[in-house]
Amino acid sequence: MPSLLHRPTFRRGLREALPFILMVAPFGLLFGVVAQEAGLDLYQTMAMTILVIAGSSQFAAAQMIADNAPALIVLATALAVNLRMAMYSASLTPHLGQAPTWQRALVAYLLIDQAYALASVEYDKRPAASLPDKLAYFFGTMTVIAPVWYGATWLGATVGAAIPPWLALDFAVPITFLAMVAPMLRTLPHLAAATMSVVASLALAWMPHNTGLLAASALAMMAGAQAELWLSRHKLRRGPEEAR
């Protein structure tokens, strides 16, 4: 691990992750405030932040706890929100799958939206980079992001009540996801999944305990998979036609 820290790719990861501080810091502050309002104490808030390290599922869980939702529904919703991590892992496996087990475990723990967004772009631009260089880049990004997330959450949980309403920290949530998702909407399956998730989330907002999010997540994955299947079949049909 120490050898990775001296690689140029580690420093590039550090540098390219810096802009995300502008999004992660208010995001963490807001979660600290929301967790306190949901009834979590400082230790519970920080335990969730450090162990889960997944802002969107943490927000969903905290808000459902505040609504006195059943524990099973809270867990199911948090897991559904985080299902995208399985897709992230599959996407990074061709690049990092040969790393030692402990390094893959650390990558799995640190795998969040911002790190994935940066790493996927980096690996697409430099597919021939060595495994140590790819690992160094990933760890470089999280060396910046993870401490900011932990620190901002702690600050929000301890002094959140003193943050004036006019700061409107809630802007951080949509801005963060727009900044990460927009550049990734490059294919029909991506667009189909994103569109379905928006439409279904709005249409199913009436469902109790935010369970509409669970249904919307499932429908979005189905839409993306169906679009991918349609594209594959379309390519297969075009192949013989072009050969003739």
pLDDT digits (tens, 9 = 90+) for 220-234: 878 888 888 887 877
How many whole angstroms separate alpha carbon 140 and alpha carbon 149? Answer: 15
Mean model confidence pLDDT for the chain: 82
Which amino acid is located at 145 in the chain?
A: I
pLDDT of residue 177: 56
Left (φ > 0), alpha (ψ -120 to 50) or beta: where does 174 sit? alpha
Once rounded to an integer, what is the mean pLDDT over residues 43-53? Answer: 91
137-169 confidence digits (pLDDT tens): 999 999 999 999 999 999 989 986 666 665 555
- State whether the Cα torsion 110-114-116-122 is positive or negative: negative
pLDDT of residue 243: 47
Residue 52 has pLDDT above 70, yes or no: yes
pLDDT of residue 173: 55
Let me know: does 49 contact 31? Beta carbons within 8 Å: yes
pTM summary value: 0.71
- Half-sphere exposure in the Cβ direction for 87 (13 Å, CA): 13
Residue 74 has pLDDT above 50, yes or no: yes
DSSP string, 95-119: HHTTS-HHHHHHHHHH--HHHHHHH
